[in-house]
Amino acid sequence: MPNRRNRQICLAHHPTGFPTEDNFALSETAVPEPKEGEMLCRTIYLSLDPYMRGRMNPGPSYAPGVELGHVMGGATVSQVVQSRLPHYDEGDLVLSANGWQEFALSDGEGVRKLDPTIAPISTALGVLGMPGHTAYVGLLDHGRPKAGETVVVSAASGAVGAVVGQLAKLAGCRVIGIAGQQKKCDYVVSELGFDGCVSHHRDDLSEALHAACPDGIDVYFENVGGKVFDAVLPSLNTFARVPVCGRIANYNTAHPPAGPDRVPQLMGLTLVRRITFKGFIIFDHMDRFPAFFDYVSARIHDGTLKYREDLVDGIENTVSAFQGLLRGENFGKLLVRFGDDPTKT
C-alpha cells in the first residue's frame, strides 16, 4: 500500500511492577505487502485484556511472552484490505491476532470470518469471544452450578464476570457480584439482574459478603485474588467450587505480599470443607467454543443476556487504556478502535 504507514506499539522494556509509558514504544513502519498465501488486514478493534500483563514478563508461562522490540500481541477484529490467500477476499471481516498495530499480515491460521448479521463485529472480542467463552467454560464446566445455589463473581461488571453472573442466573442460582465503584455494583444489579453486589473498597468486605450470602457461597468465580479472595474464603461452603480464571490484584506485584503465612488456613479449609479449586486456561477448551457460541448468541438475540463495551479511540491511547484496565477503571469490555468500522457507516 504505497504511502501508507503502519503505526505499532512494541514492548520496549520489561516492567517491574505497574507498567509505565516507558515500557512501550510507538513507532511507524511501512505497511507490508502480502505474499502468495497471505493477506493484509487492517485493524478495526483491539481487545485489551488483563492476561497481557503477564505476557510482558520474561520467563515461562502458559503462553509465550512478548520479546523486547516486538509488537504487543492481542486479538483484533479487522478487515481484509489485500488478499493472496484462498477463501479470503478484500472487504472480509475477520477475527485475527494483529496485536497492537494498525496493519498486519496473516496466513489465515487462527483467523475466523465474522458475520455482522449475527451480532456487532466488536462482540467477537468480548461477549461472543474469548471473555464470553471463558465465562461459559469456567462457570458451567468447572463451577458446575445447581439451581438454588449461591454464586459469587469477582470483577462482576467486567467482560468475563458480567457473563458469568448472567449465566448463573439463567441456571437458577442466586448471584452476588463483587466490583469496585458503586456505579458498577448498581449496573450488575439493575441491568444484569444480579441479586446483589458488594464493593471491594469496603473496609468490612468479609462481613458485607457474609451478610449478602447468609447461606454461604457454593461457587466463587475468581478473577481478582488478593484481599477479595481473603474476604470470600471464610464463606465458602462445604463442597464449594472455585474456578480460578485470573488474579489481577497480583499481576503487578514484583514480590509476594508481606504478611502472615495464610497457606495453612487455606489448606485446612480446603480439606475440611472439601473445596475444589480449578485453574483453567481457555485455550485448553476450544472444543467447547461451538456450544458456547450457539448458546450465548441466542441469549443475546432474544435479549436475555446483555453486554457492555468500553470503547477508546486511537492507537495512541492504547497504553493509557491498558493502564486503566489494570487499575480497574474500565466499565465493560475494553476495546480500542483503531479505524473505521464499515458496518457502522
Q: What is the pLDDT of residue 151?
A: 98
**What are the backbone angles phi and psi of residue 20, rounded to the nearest 5°?**
-115, 170
CA distance 178 to 49: 19
Kindly report, residue by residue over 212-241, the tens digit of the pLDDT: 999 999 999 999 888 899 899 999 999 999
Three cell numbers at 53? 500483563
How high is the pLDDT of residue 330? 93
Q: What is the pLDDT of residues 83-137, one digit of tens each?
A: 999 999 999 999 999 999 999 999 999 999 999 999 999 999 999 999 999 999 9
- For residues 296 and 151, give the distance between their C-alpha atoms in angstroms, rounded to a whole number: 19
Question: What is the percent of the chain where pLDDT is above 70?
Answer: 96
pLDDT tens column, 135-179: 999 999 999 999 999 999 999 999 999 999 999 999 999 999 999
Quote the pTM value: 0.92
The CA-atom distances, in angstroms, between 180 and each of 156, 184, 200, 277 are 9, 7, 5, 24
Please tell me the predicted confidence (pLDDT) of residue 101.
Answer: 98
pLDDT over 60 at 332, yes or no? yes
Closest Cα to residue 240, out of 157, 150, 303? 150
| Closest to 344 (Cα-Cα) out of 93, 129, 159, 101 | 93
* 1: pLDDT strictly greater than 60: no
Q: Note the pLDDT of residue 61.
A: 73
CA distances from 80 to 6, 31, 44, 107, 199 (A): 15, 13, 11, 12, 43
Q: Extract the C-alpha cell encoding 163.
A: 457473563
Q: Whose CA is closest to 280, among 136, 154, 170, 169? A: 136
Would you call 67 exposed, middle or buried from its count of C-beta atoms within 10 A (0-12, 13-18, 19+)? exposed
**Greatest distance between any 2 Cα atoms in the chain:** 68
Q: Return the residue matching grid coordinates 457492555.
A: 308
pLDDT of residue 2: 58
Task: Return the H-helix or E-strand segment holding 177.
Answer: strand 174-179
pLDDT score for 227: 87
CA distance 161 to 126: 11
Which pLDDT value is given to residue 52? 93
Contact 145, 168 (CB under 8 A): yes
Average pLDDT over residues 261-267: 83
Mean pLDDT (the chain, rounded): 93
| DSSP-derived pairing of the beta strands 174-179 and 196-199 | parallel
pLDDT reported for residue 63 = 73
What is the average per-residue pLDDT within 201-206? 91
pLDDT > 60? residue 249: no
Domains defined for the chain, CATH in brackets: 5-126+308-344 (3.90.180.10), 130-285+293-298 (3.40.50.720)
